Amino acid sequence: MLKKLKPDIYVDDIYAIDYEALKHEGITGIIFDIDNTLIPYEESMPNDKIQELFDKLKEMEFVISFISNGPKKRVDKFNTRLNFYTRHRACKPLSVNLRKFIEEVNLEKNQVAIIGDQIFTDVIAGKCAGIKTILVRPIKPRNSIIEKIKRRLESKLLQKFNEMEMKR
């Protein structure tokens, strides 16, 4: 059961990911979550550092998409200059929109990774779609009660994963 929630990779942020290594293992498609993975809730546009990263990923010929549970307006605004494939109100942890993307760009499951900040949406959706899952720390967690409960559960899970890792 726990294994179903364990991300394949867990790093601090999107800049700590070894994209060369991903490419090397055959990943050519990347699905990004937006909120708290790329920008905090109170921002709406990619900053220069993000722009630079995406320029690099484009150069590396990754097929990129933004699959967000957020509204159309927010996703479109973020994507204005980047112009990647997007899905808004994506209903993660359901994997339907991830699978649609994989099919539409003609990739195989083992060629795609999802990068997001939440186990209960991004990682589960990725697992259900059968793709590689990469968890990053949320840029700036929201302070609602539900969010706090989720974060506490997530940190408990991450602790468990670390223990599992050490036992191996």
Q: Which residues bind to Mg ion, rule: CB under 5 A?
A: 33, 35-36, 117
Beta carbon of residue 36, minimum distance to Mg ion (angstroms, whole number):
4
Residue number, 41 or 85, with CB nearest to Mg ion: 41
- Tell the smallest beta-carbon distance from residue 118 to Mg ion (Å): 5
At closest approach, how far in Å is the CB of 79 from Mg ion?
A: 16
Secondary structure in 3-state letters for the chain:
CHHHHCCCEEECCHHHCCHHHHHHCCCCEEEECCECCCECCCCCCCCHHHHHHHHHHHHCCCEEEEECCCCHHHHHHHHCCCCCEEECCCCCCCCHHHHHHHHHCCCCHHHEEEEECCHHHHHHHHHHHCCEEEEECCCCCCCCHHHHHHHHHHHHHHHHHHHHHHHC
- Rank residues 47 and 110 by Cβ distance to Mg ion and give the closer one: 47
- Closest CB 123 distance from Mg ion, rounded Å: 11
Nearer Cβ to Mg ion (35/54): 35
Nearer to Mg ion, 110 or 148 (CB): 148
